[in-house]
Amino acid sequence: MYRREIKVVDCTIRDGGLINDSKFPLETVRQVYRAICESGVDYVELGYRNSKEMFSPDDYGPWRFCDEEQLRQVVDGLDGGSTKIAVMQDAHKAVPEDVLPADESVVDMIRVATYVKDVDKAIRLARNADEKGYETTVNIMAISREGGPSLDEALRQIEEETEAKAVYVVDSYGALYSEEVHFLVEKYQMHLKTKEVGGHFHNSQQLAFANTIESIIKGANYVDGTLYGLGRGAGNCPLELLLGFLKNPKFKIVSLLEGISKAILPLQKELTWGYHIPYMVMGMLNQHPREAMAWMASDRRDDFLAFFKQVTEEYGE
């Protein structure tokens, strides 16, 4: 049986943009948008709204900024149905002034990504979006490296000082196992009395889908996925698997399958993502996948033993 309360967020373009510096062609973004809307998924996240003072438009594609004009080009002539549009702001890479009043934008939700140390910046951005009429979430990144009193205090501040609909457990390094997912969801629930818990998991150890299920079992009602698992490094929870698990009759998986065929598979000619040994190693070490990504881009990508020796020596394992 399904839970009506569960909200699904597609972040194919936003998270996938971490592979190619957000340089997707407009038609690819429109194809993804069409597939997600036709599937009945609750939200589609079309990229970041980060500051052009911190990211140069000469180096990054339009979906790192999600200017209103570009977003309107995405939705032009397409029926969004009940699907809402989201964009993400990084707490340490965005400014409140980049967000228009909600009644002047096609965006419905602002998702604020933060590390625990930047929670005050995240609250500032979330409150700005709240006041301008948006739905908001706060996504706490690298949660496998966070904990103790600092996390508790961050959760209390978010609860007391924002109108966020959900606060996310974000396994940026793909390091968590089910027991840790259970612990973190329960910790969040202990501090969040007026907000839902969300789950966003990476696939470094082939656990993104399993950990998403575990978060749902423990009561998380906001969950993320991407088409065909597209995302940085090992990628994310595949959206098509997630909808199959949820069994909500409002979701139409066939729309996702068509979208994968038309929009995602062609990207494999230029982009690489998905489970691979270097990503597994970094997940096991609870480290950022950047070194694995660099290794995968080199001519030594399949020399697993050399990579293992290099990073275990570096991190003292």
Mean pLDDT (the chain, rounded): 97
Cα distance from N-terminal residue to C-terminal residue, the chain: 44
Phi and psi, residue 138, nearest 5°: -120, 125
- What confidence score (pLDDT) does residue 194 get? 98
- What confidence score (pLDDT) does residue 316 get? 76
- What confidence score (pLDDT) does residue 1 get? 66
Query: How far apart, in whole angstroms, are the C-alpha atoms of residue 138 and residue 136?
Result: 7
Map out the domains of the chain with their CATH numbers.
7-269 (3.20.20.70), 277-314 (no CATH)
% of the chain with per-residue pLDDT over 90: 97
Residue spans of beta strands (DSSP E) within the chain: 7-10, 43-48, 84-90, 109-114, 135-140, 166-171, 196-201, 222-225
pLDDT in tens, 94-140: 999 999 999 999 999 999 999 999 999 999 999 999 999 999 999 99
Half-sphere exposure of 122 (CA within 13 A, CB side): 27
pLDDT in tens, 176-221: 999 999 999 999 999 999 999 999 999 999 999 999 999 999 999 9
Quickly tell me which residue has 């009429």 as its tokens: 133
Q: Which DSSP string corresponds to 71-125?
A: HHHHHTT---TTPEEEEEEETTT--GGG---GGG-S--EEEEEE-GGGHHHHHHH
Query: How far apart, in whole angstroms, are the C-alpha atoms of residue 8 and residue 218?
Result: 16
Those residues of the chain that have pLDDT short of 70 are 1, 317
* Bridge partners, 10 (sequence order): 44, 225
